[in-house]
């Protein structure tokens, strides 16, 4: 039995890093990090995390948020918008199960460029861009539920 967060992030990591079209959009390899990226990570890369929300209709269901950040370095933000496009096509309205989590349904809610307060200003000489996508991520925590029922 894996933790819900581990199960979800592992599935999403594998989904994103093996997608051929996304690999192409990201220059041949999909770098995806949980929560935050290591210092000096090579561009472009993804950072993802899940914020678990309140229960849904019944207690095993949770309404959570999947936060996916794209960082890219290119002169005109063409690369990052191409990456954004691939991510939406992969994730939005997907339905998937893992061993531990069932009925997972990412739904795109908001997305847009983020203005950074440090040197990473969009359009600056560094040409570093940050794009954030937020998905609703309802799911049913199956193995936790079975364990709770059996305790």
Partner 1 sequence: MSTKQRGIGTNTYERILMGPGAVYTGADQASLLGATMGGNVMEITRTFRDIRPDGAQGPVKGFRSIEEVDAVLTVRLLEVTEQALVYALAGSSLSSNVITGGEIANSTYLAAVSIIAEMTGATTEGRGSIAIELSNVLVEGPMTINLPENGETAIELKFRAHYDVAALTTEPWKISFTHVA
150 binds partner 1 (CB under 8 A): yes
State the Cα–Cα distance between residues 48 and 132, nearest whole angstrom: 10
148 binds partner 1 (CB under 8 A): yes
Task: Indicate the pairing of strand 32-34 with strand 45-51.
Answer: parallel
The answer to whether the CB of 70 falls within 8 A of the CB of 91 is: no
58 binds partner 1 (CB under 8 A): yes
Rule CB under 8 A: choose which of 1, 42, 55, 59 binds partner 1: 59
Q: What angle do CA 9, 132, 26 make, to 5 degrees?
A: 75
* Pick 6 or 146: Cβ nearer partner 1: 146
Rule CB under 8 A: choose which of 19, 121, 134, 145 binds partner 1: 145
5 binds partner 1 (CB under 8 A): no
Site residues for partner 1, window 114-143 (CB under 8 A)? 140, 142
* Pick 65 or 97: Cβ nearer partner 1: 97
17 binds partner 1 (CB under 8 A): no
Span from 16-24, 58-66, 84-92, 110-118 in contact with partner 1 (CB under 8 A): 58-66
Q: Is the preceding peptide bond at 44 cis, omega within 30 degrees of 0?
A: yes
* Pick 126 or 146: Cβ nearer partner 1: 146
Task: Indicate the pairing of strand 107-113 with strand 45-51.
Answer: unpaired
Q: What angle do CA 84, 90, 92 make, to 5 degrees?
A: 85
């Amino acid at each position: 039995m894996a933790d819900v967060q581990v199960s979800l992030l592992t599935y999403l990591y594998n989904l994103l890093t093996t997608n051929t079209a996304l690999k192409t959009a990201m220059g041949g390899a999909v770098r995806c990090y949980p929560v935050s990226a290591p210092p000096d990570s090579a561009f472009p890369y993804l950072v993802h995390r899940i914020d678990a929300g309140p229960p849904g209709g019944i207690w095993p269901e949770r309404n959570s948020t999947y936060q996916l950040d794209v960082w890219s370095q290119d002169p005109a933000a063409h690369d990052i918008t191409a990456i954004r496009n691939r991510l939406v096509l992969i994730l939005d309205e997907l339905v998937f199960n893992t061993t531990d989590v069932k009925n997972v349904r990412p739904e795109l809610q908001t997305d847009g460029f983020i203005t950074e307060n440090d040197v990473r200003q969009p359009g600056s000489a560094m040409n570093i861009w940050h794009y954030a996508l937020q998905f609703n991520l309802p799911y049913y925590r199956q193995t936790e539920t079975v364990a709770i029922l059996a305790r």
